[in-house]
Amino acid sequence: MDAIRHVALGFCVISTIAGVIRIFWPENSFTSVINTILVLYIITAGLQLLRGTDWQMLTAQLYDLTATTEENTLDYSAYGRQLGLAASADAVREVLENADVEAVVTLGNNTCCVTLVHADDYERAESLLASSCGTLPYELTVGGDAP
């Protein structure tokens, strides 16, 4: 089989040379010969692959791969919860911005902490948070004496 593969490789080299000739001399009829030889080389390489493969070892490795992936699964639920809280805090920030309430929104201990810039916005911010936060725990504070 190695001899056939080497002969096919030789034909591929000859076909490559014929392809280079075709580039510089386009009125020739080497196209069908080149394609035929390449197909033959691919077939012989595929037969060599199928003949030389240890199917029992490959099957055992695939079974071992599935067994190790089941054992090493990681728990991403806490990370997913943290991502959800961050998205919720961004949504709260956007709701407050749309209502023209200046505030700083942060996350602390799984709670959305909203610090208002203006004390006059407290009632409006509280009603907005009550209507839009749902089950998200929040804490509303006034941060300063800005006019």
| Residue in the block written with tokens 């201990």 | 109
- Annotated domain spans of the chain: 2-52, 81-142
CATH number of 81-142: 3.30.70
- Provide the mean pLDDT of the chain: 78
d(CA 2, CA 37): 17
pTM (2 decimals)? 0.48
Query: Which residue ranges of the chain lie beneath pLDDT 70?
Result: 1-8, 18-19, 21-22, 25-31, 34-35, 38, 49-50, 52-53, 67-73, 144-147
Strand 111-116 and strand 103-108: the pairing is antiparallel
Structural tokens at position 91: 């949504």
For residue 19, give every residue at least 6 positions away whose Cβ sits within 8 Å of its Cβ, in sequence order, or none: 30, 34
Determine the 3-state secondary structure of 80 from DSSP: helix
In whole angstroms, give the CA distance from residue 138 to residue 131: 12
Q: Cβ(112)–Cβ(89) under 8 Å?
A: yes
